[in-house]
């Protein structure tokens, strides 16, 4: 019954495959029985039928075999036994027609060879006698022995796959060493000869070679240097090139390229935890063994090929597999779960094919993962030599090379990842990357954190434009203010004839108007987009779309993170205008396609493992994120807090407060009543600020800012003076 149910579920195609398997199994059992019977009959062959264990038929069978092929008869049952197993294994493996053909050639070559070597007419039977006579008449006895011996060795090689050269090298190590040394010398001589032949051509193209050498020198800093292995030893193992510069030199380069202006100082790298020393080295034997396991497992599923290169990284190892001609790539991509089982890995990601190469990439997790610290990234030349104030140290790629991105070129970043996958840690690492590059005069932050946990550590740093916004209802108003600031900046740049913020600031420096006219970059960071879309979805989406479409040239950039990348959170308009996206581990392929337009995020390992989609390309880059501890964040933020207080009374929000959506601002008569109370309070003071009114009357920041704005229009207080409180101009008007 179970069998019938199984066939019924398999359908029509399953019945056909089952029938073929049964026929092969029956044929294998029949051949196995015949081989055993022939062996019993031959080894018990005597003078009479009684002495033979195979009976009378066994006597006739033994006599016929000995007459036909002589001593080869005793090998014949073994050949039949091997063919029977080939039929039995046909249920799982492809049947190799070459095996029985090889056995037939083995008999045809060994039978005459026995007759010639042993000088006997019966050693090879009648078949050997006829063939030996034929060969000796045409090529002589010596020639026949050479040809037949070579044919016999080739037949054994094809049937078993055994390499006689490898066996000889293991049995005779001195001879093997001599052959290797001779081969090495011959290869060196050939390479030197080739260099001499091409020297004249290289001199003719000297100018072009200088240009290529310059480009190659730049690429050497990020490209891995290969460790070449001979083809006989297996695939080549590629390791990343380690920078030889000291940490002091990297720190000097970072400060030189950053060169902060004004009274602020950049934080030293000593605030970060030191990079742990790497223990152990790359186990080449283990990598080569894994390559063989991959090749064997793929061959079991009918995918023939070989591993050309192995690229060990901090978290995963990339195996570059070259499939044999005629193998479809789709057959390999469907085997990820089976390969994960064979490699004893949590998950395996397959890149089919690797862009620009005729190979398939198979990423296998390492048994021991390397922790990537922020200090190691900031010390490297990729970050220290970057001139952008918005450089983001994302982590290391699969080969172990540092990966640094520029937010100014993205120009906006969308981040998605489930809880506990390292999303928030990586966002903190990006923020610290900017804090190590830029002063408050260079970059200002607008942070929105509805969860009130992730970004609260940055409260009070001088880079902030407003306190960290935790109320989702107030976030829409803050975004409207940023939209208005964008329009204001474009007007200023149009007056100066500048196309972007870099040229505008350069014009200000050339005109000698000082830092007062320079425009800092503005980075809007939203830690959880889903909360904002649930409360003020329409307003938030409208502001984000406008900013993402137009804000790049004005120096305003967005960095948005979400745990739930569903279509109602990451809408089509938002995703279209965010060309740069990062996906951490996600629960399903659907979520991965929502954020990346491709699968793969569901196979990530967590703990900062991410897929990065750079702008202007569809090629995903796998990066292992940086780890930053809470203690490191606290040290850096305290360093900035000690240099100054944030200018919360920024002109951006004070001039655009009328556009904010705030419940307290829509009270009408209640607002006017509080305004009168605030004027009465101000008349008793010499200085007053927005935060003071907010605390005194226990109202929202937006309402307090509108009160200050109206006071300025009515002549009660003076204009804004940076982060200082405003001067009260009207003293007790009722007296």
E strand segments, 537-683: 556-562, 580-583, 609-613, 621-625
Q: What per-residue confidence (pLDDT) applies to 375? A: 92
Lowest mean pLDDT among 263-272, 276-285, 478-487: 276-285
Lowest mean pLDDT among 63-67, 407-411, 417-421, 620-624: 63-67
Supply 340's token pair: 């994960």
Q: Does domain 284-365 have CATH number 3.40.50.2300?
A: no
Q: What per-residue confidence (pLDDT) applies to 584? A: 94
pLDDT above 90 for 134: no
Lowest mean pLDDT among 43-47, 325-329, 580-584: 43-47
Domains 415-431+450-641 and 662-727 share a fold: no
Three-state secondary structure of 407-462: CCCCCCEEEECCCCCCHHHHHHHHHHHHHCCCCCCCEEEEEECCCCCCCHHHCCCC
Q: Are 570 and 541 in contact (CB under 8 A)?
A: no
Q: What per-residue confidence (pLDDT) applies to 387? A: 87
Higher pLDDT, 556 or 116: 556
pLDDT above 60 for 68: yes
pLDDT above 70 for 542: yes
3-class secondary-structure state, position 686? coil
Torsion 498-503-508-510 (CA) sign:
negative
Q: Are strands 305-312 and 316-323 parallel, antiparallel or unpaired?
A: antiparallel
pLDDT above 60 for 453: yes
Supply 120's token pair: 């006997």
> Per the omega criterion (within 30 degrees of 0), is the bond before 114 cis?
no
Average the pLDDT over 577-585 and give the result. 92
Number of helical H runs and strand E runs in the chain: 25, 17
**Cβ contacts of residue 684 below 8 Å, gap of 6+?**
732
Average the pLDDT over 77-97 and give the result. 64
Average the pLDDT over 276-305 and give the result. 82
pLDDT above 50 for 396: yes
Supply 118's token pair: 């042993």
Q: pLDDT tier at 732 (50, 70, 90 boundaries)?
A: low
Supply 68's token pair: 């036909």
Q: What per-residue confidence (pLDDT) applies to 407? A: 93
**Cβ contacts of residue 87 below 8 Å, gap of 6+?**
24, 25, 27, 28, 31, 95
**Cβ contacts of residue 555 below 8 Å, gap of 6+?**
489, 500, 501, 519, 520, 521, 522
Residue tagged 């205008």 (tokens):
577
Higher pLDDT, 259 or 487: 487
Percent of the chain with pLDDT over 90: 17
- Alpha carbons within 13 angstroms on the beta-carbon side of residue 262 total 15
Give the count of beta carbons closer than 10 Å to the beta carbon of residue 310. Answer: 24
Q: What per-residue confidence (pLDDT) applies to 597? A: 87
Q: Are 670 and 703 in contact (CB under 8 A)?
A: no
CATH of 415-431+450-641, one of 3.40.50.970, 3.40.50.720, 3.40.50.300, 1.10.1740.10: 3.40.50.300
Average the pLDDT over 549-570 and give the result. 89
- Written out in words, the top-level CATH class of the domain with range 662-727 is mainly alpha
Give the count of beta carbons closer than 10 Å to the beta carbon of residue 297. Answer: 16
Q: What per-residue confidence (pLDDT) applies to 569? A: 85
- Residue 702 CA, distance from chain mean position: 44
Torsion 388-390-393-394 (CA) sign:
negative
Torsion 650-653-656-658 (CA) sign:
negative
Q: What per-residue confidence (pLDDT) applies to 221? A: 41
Q: pLDDT tier at 699 (50, 70, 90 boundaries)?
A: confident
Lowest mean pLDDT among 105-109, 390-394, 512-516: 512-516
DSSP 300-332: HTT--EEEEEEEE-SSEEEEEEEEPTT--HHHH
User: What does each C-alpha distance from 591 to 314, 566, 621 come to in angstroms?
Assistant: 26, 7, 18
Give the count of beta carbons closer than 10 Å to the beta carbon of residue 502. Answer: 14
Lowest mean pLDDT among 128-137, 159-168, 539-548: 159-168
Higher pLDDT, 49 or 302: 302
Q: How far apart are CA 474 and CA 476, in angstroms?
A: 6
Higher pLDDT, 175 or 342: 342
Supply 720's token pair: 């804004």
pLDDT above 60 for 9: no
Supply 147's token pair: 């040809």
pLDDT tens readout for residues 155-165: 777 666 666 66
Look at residues 532, 586, 519 and name the one whose alpha carbon lies nearest to residue 560. 532
**Cβ contacts of residue 439 below 8 Å, gap of 6+?**
260, 261, 262, 264, 266
pLDDT above 50 for 461: yes
Q: How far apart are CA 678 and CA 671, in angstroms?
A: 10
Q: pLDDT tier at 261 (50, 70, 90 boundaries)?
A: low
Q: Which of the listed ranges 45-54, 56-65, 512-521, 551-560 does the model predict with the highest average pLDDT?
A: 551-560
pLDDT tens readout for residues 400-433: 889 999 999 999 999 999 888 999 999 999 999 9
Supply angle C-alpha 401, 407, 410, rounded to 5. Answer: 95
pLDDT tens readout for residues 179-215: 655 655 555 555 454 444 444 443 334 433 443 443 3
Torsion 350-351-353-354 (CA) sign:
negative
Q: What per-residue confidence (pLDDT) applies to 63? A: 77
Domain ranges of the chain: 18-169, 284-365, 415-431+450-641, 662-727
pLDDT tens readout for residues 662-679: 444 445 677 888 888 898
Q: Are 269 and 378 in contact (CB under 8 A)?
A: yes
What is the overall mean pLDDT for the chain? Answer: 77
Average the pLDDT over 323-338 and give the result. 87
DSSP 469-512: B--HHHHHHHHHHHHHHHHHHHHHHHHHT-SSHHHHHHHHHHHT
Sheet holding 413-416, edge to edge: 402-406, 391-397, 621-625, 609-613, 580-583, 413-416, 556-562, 521-526, 443-448
Torsion 67-73-76-77 (CA) sign:
positive
Average the pLDDT over 253-276 and give the result. 72
Higher pLDDT, 147 or 266: 266
Q: What per-residue confidence (pLDDT) applies to 198? A: 41
Q: How far apart are CA 61 and CA 51, in angstroms?
A: 14
């Amino acid at each position: 019954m179970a069998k019938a149910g199984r066939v019924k579920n398999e359908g029509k195609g399953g019945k056909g495959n089952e029938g073929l398997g049964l026929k092969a199994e029956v044929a294998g059992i029949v051949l196995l029985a015949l081989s055993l019977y022939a062996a019993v009959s031959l080894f018990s062959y005597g003078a009479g039928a009684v002495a033979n264990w195979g009976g009378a038929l066994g006597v006739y069978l033994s006599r016929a075999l000995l007459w036909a092929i002589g001593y080869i008869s005793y090998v014949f049952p073994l050949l039949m036994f091997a063919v029977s197993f080939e039929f039995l294994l046909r249920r799982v493996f492809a049947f190799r027609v070459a095996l029985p053909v090889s056995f037939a050639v083995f008999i045809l070559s060994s039978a005459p060879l026995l007759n010639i070597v042993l000088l006997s007419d019966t050693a090879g039977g009648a078949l050997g006698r006829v063939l030996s006579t034929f060969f000796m008449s045409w090529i002589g006895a010596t020639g026949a022995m050479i040809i037949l011996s070579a044919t016999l060795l080739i037949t054994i090689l094809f049937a078993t796959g055994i390499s006689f050269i490898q066996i000889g090298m293991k049995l005779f190590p001195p001879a093997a060493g001599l052959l290797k040394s001779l081969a090495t010398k011959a290869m060196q001589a050939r390479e030197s000869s080739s260099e001499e032949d091409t020297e004249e051509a290289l001199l003719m193209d000297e100018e072009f070679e200088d240009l290529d050498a310059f480009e190659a020198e730049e690429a050497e800093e990020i490209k891995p240097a290969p460790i070449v292995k001979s083809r006989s030893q297996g695939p080549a193992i590629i390791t990343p090139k380690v920078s030889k510069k000291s940490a002091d030199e990297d720190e000097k380069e970072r400060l030189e390229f950053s060169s902060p202006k004004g009274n602020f100082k950049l934080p030293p790298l000593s605030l970060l935890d030191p990079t742990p020393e790497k223990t152990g080295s790359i186990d080449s034997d283990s990598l080569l063994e894994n390559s063989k396991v991959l090749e064997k497992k793929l061959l079991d599923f009918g995918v023939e090929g070989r591993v050309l290169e192995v690229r060990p990284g901090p978290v995963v190892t990339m195996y570059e597999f070259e499939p044999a001609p005629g193998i479809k790539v789709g057959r390999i991509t469907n085997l990820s779960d089976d390969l994960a089982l064979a490699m004893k890995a949590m998950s395996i990601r397959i890149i089919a094919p690797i862009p620009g190469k005729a190979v398939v990439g198979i990423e296998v997790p390492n048994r021991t993962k390397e922790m990537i610290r922020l200090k190691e990234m900031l010390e490297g030349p990729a970050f220290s030599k970057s001139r952008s104030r918005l450089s983001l140290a994302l982590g290391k790629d699969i080969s172990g090379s540092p990966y640094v991105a520029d937010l100014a070129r993205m120009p906006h970043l969308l981040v998605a990842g489930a809880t506990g996958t390292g999303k928030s840690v990586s966002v903190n690492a990006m923020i610290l990357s900017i804090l190590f590059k830029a002063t408050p005069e260079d970059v200002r932050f607008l942070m929105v954190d509805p969860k009130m946990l992730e970004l609260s550590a940055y409260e009070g740093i001088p880079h902030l434009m407003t306190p960290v916004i935790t109320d989702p209802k107030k976030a829409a108003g803050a975004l409207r203010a940023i939209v208005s600031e964008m329009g204001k900046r474009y007007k200023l740049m149009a007056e100066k004839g500048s196309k972007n913020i870099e040229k505008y600031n350069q014009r200000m420096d050339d005109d000698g108007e000082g830092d007062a006219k320079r425009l800092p970059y503005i980075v809007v960071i939203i830690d959880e987009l889903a909360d904002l879309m649930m409360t003020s979805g329409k307003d938030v989406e409208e502001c984000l779309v406008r900013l993402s479409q137009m804000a790049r040239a004005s120096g305003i950039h967005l960095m948005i993170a979400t745990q739930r990348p569903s279509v109602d959170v990451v809408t089509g308009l938002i995703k279209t205008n965010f060309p740069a996206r990062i996906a951490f581990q996600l629960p399903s392929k659907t979520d991965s396609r929502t954020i990346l337009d491709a699968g793969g995020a569901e196979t990530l390992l967590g703990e900062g493992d991410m897929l990065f989609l750079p702008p202007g390309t569809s090629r995903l880059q796998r990066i292992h994120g940086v780890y930053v501890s809470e203690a490191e964040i606290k040290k850096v933020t305290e360093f900035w807090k000690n240099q100054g207080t944030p200018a919360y009374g920024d002109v951006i929000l004070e001039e655009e407060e009328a556009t904010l959506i705030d419940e307290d601002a829509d009270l009408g008569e209640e607002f006017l009543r509080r305004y009168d109370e605030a004027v009465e309070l101000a008349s008793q003071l010499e200085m007053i600020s927005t935060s003071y009114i907010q605390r005194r009357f226990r109202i929202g920041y937006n309402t307090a800012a509108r009160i200050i704005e109206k006071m300025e229009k009515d002549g009660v207080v003076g204009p804004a003076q940076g982060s200082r409180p405003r001067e009260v101009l009207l003293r007790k008007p009722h007296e």
